[in-house]
Chains A and B, each alone.
Chain A
Amino acid sequence: MNCCQEFRNALDELVLSRESAPLEVVQHGEQCSAAECRAAWEEFRLLNSAIASWQTREALMVVPSFQIETTAPAVASSSANKPLPDSKRSEAGLARWLALSVAGVALFSLLSLVGSNLRNDPQVATVDTPTATEIVDPPVLVAVEETEEGNAAIRDLGTTYVSWIDGSTDRITDTVAFVLVEPSHEEGSNSHTGWLESLQQGWQPLESSLQETFQELLRATASGSYLNPVMWKLQLPKAA
Chain B
Amino acid sequence: MTNSETELVQRCLSGDAAAQAEFVSLFERRVFALCLRMLNHRQDAEDVAQETLLRALRYLPGWDTSRRLAPWVLKIAANRCRTALSRRNSIPVPCEETPDIEVAPVHVTDVADEVQRGLSGLRENYRECFILFYQQELSVAEVSEVMQIPEGTVKTWLFRARKEMAQYLRERGLAPDES
A116 vs B140: C-alpha distance when bound (angstroms): 75
Residues B127-171 near A (CB distance < 8 A): 134-135, 137, 140, 155, 158-159, 162-163, 165-166, 169-170
**What is the interface size of chain B, counting residues whose CB is below 8 A from a CB of the partner?**
46
Residues A1-51 near B (CB distance < 8 A): 12, 15-16, 18, 42-43, 45-47, 49-51
B168 and chain A: residue at smallest CB distance: A50
Distance to closest chain A CB from B125 (angstroms): 18
Interface readout for B114-126 with A: 1 if CB under 8 Å, 0 if not? 1110000000000
Inter-chain contacts of A66 with B (CB < 8 A): 24, 28, 32, 49-50, 53
Q: Which of A72-80, A119-127, A160-168 has 4 or more CB atoms under 8 Å from chain B?
A: A72-80
A66 vs B140: C-alpha distance when bound (angstroms): 29
CB distance B175 to A63 under 8 Å? no
**What is the interface size of chain A, counting residues whose CB is below 8 A from a CB of the partner?**
34
Residues in chain A within 8 A of chain B (CB atoms): 12, 15-16, 18, 42-43, 45-47, 49-51, 53-58, 61, 63-68, 70-71, 74-75, 77-79, 81-82
20 contacts between A and B (CB under 8 A): A46-B170, A46-B174, A53-B115, A54-B111, A54-B112, A56-B112, A57-B112, A58-B135, A63-B32, A66-B32, A66-B50, A68-B57, A71-B17, A71-B20, A74-B58, A75-B15, A75-B20, A77-B58, A78-B12, A78-B58
